Amino acid sequence: MERLYSSIKGRYLGVSVAGSAVLIVLLTVFFLSSFTTTVLSLNNDSFEANVTVSNAYPAVSGVLFNDSSNTIANITLTAASDTNSIMCNATITDSNGYQDVSTSGEVNATFYHSGQGTLTGSNDKNQRYTNTSCSFTGGSGTTVTAVCVTQFEHEAYNGTWNCTIFAKDGAGATANASRTQTVDELLALDVLNGSIHYGTMSNGASSSSALGVNISNTGNVKIDVQVKGNTDMNCSVLGNLGVGNISFNTTGGAYATMSDNKLSTSLQSLSAFNLVQEGVTPWVEDQVATNNTYWTITIPDGVRGECNNTIGVYAVISAD
């Protein structure tokens, strides 16, 4: 019994010693592992940096306002043309980066006549134009060039015009700048009748009613007209019909009532013509502004055959 106990006791003690050794090893590994982890984390840790960048207002500078020739000279429109390219460019600066305007924001431009138009309101081809989607070129860093093009029609008022460029960034902050430019007077007309025909008349006969010649204003100022015959009317069979045998006026009638206004080889004025440009009352936008002139003739003795003459019509600024 004693040996068995001893044997059993010795085995028990043997087992206890072995278990203690295992426990010591595990505690040692855990301790070393914890120590190592602590040392490594001190050499490779991180933290977060945070800052909020405020929005910067854009700025508009260096506005250039000119025609397609890209010069600073006065703007000259083209008679009867509805496609006079007018440009207004500017440098847009945004310290948040030029894309804050060119990509996330927008630029637009308003062109208006300083005496007749307004910065806000409806477009009018005589006095106000807009470009609501200007393009961009040459963006770099914090600056980009805005290019705002519109098409002035021939009836745009002469005088001082203003171009104002508006820039807006992605946060909705805005800025603007302006420049003025002069649009020159455009005196222009178009005779809508290629010819008038009195038909066959006998010697001594006169027109009982006048033939109309319609003239349109294709410029940008109110006009009167001057007229002249180039020569006497050369008749194909016999003689010449004197240029003064033709009479004219701004109202119709028989030759007898119009004979005070005789055609000449010198310029004769029709001061009552008074034709405003397209778009000005009584004309509305895109309605051609026209006015009639009226012409009669008397046939003297001593001529026969077909008689022809060319009559020149010239625009002058209306005195009214």
Question: What's the one-letter identity of residue 242?
Answer: G
CB-count burial class (<10 Å; 0-12, 13-18, 19+) for 251: exposed
Provide the token pair at 219: 């410029």
The dihedral through the CA atoms of 199, 262, 209, 300 has a sign that is: negative
Share of the chain above pLDDT 90, in %: 80
* pLDDT of 177 over the 80 cut: yes
- How far apart CA 189 and CA 213 sit, in angstroms, is 13
Cα dihedral 174→179→184→188 (10° resolution): -10
User: pLDDT tens digits for 115-167?
Assistant: 999 999 999 999 999 999 999 999 999 999 999 999 999 999 999 999 999 99
How far the first Cα of the chain sits from its last, in Å, is: 148
d(CA 199, CA 114): 52
Q: Summarize pLDDT for 26-49 with one digit per residue, the tens.
A: 455 444 455 444 445 588 999 999
Same domain, 266 and 309: yes
- 173 and 259, same structural domain? no
What range defines the domain where residue 239 resides?
189-317
Q: Closest by alpha carbon to 175, among 55, 67, 52, 53?
A: 55
Tokens of 211: 């033939």
Distance CA 273, CA 318 (A): 8
Mean pLDDT of 68-88: 89
Sequence letter at residue 6: S
Q: How many domains does the chain have?
A: 2
Kindly state whether residue 39 falls inside one of the protein's structural domains: no
Of 177, 43, 44, the residue nearest 108 (C-alpha): 177
Q: Are residues 155 and 256 in the same domain?
A: no
Three-class SS state of 70: coil
Claim to verify: residue 258 and residue 160 sit in the same structural domain: no
Indicate whether 72 belongs to any domain: yes
* Distance in angstroms (rounded) separating the CA atoms of residues 282 and 215: 16
Residue position matching structure tokens 């910067």: 56
Q: Is there a single domain that holds both residue 258 and residue 173?
A: no
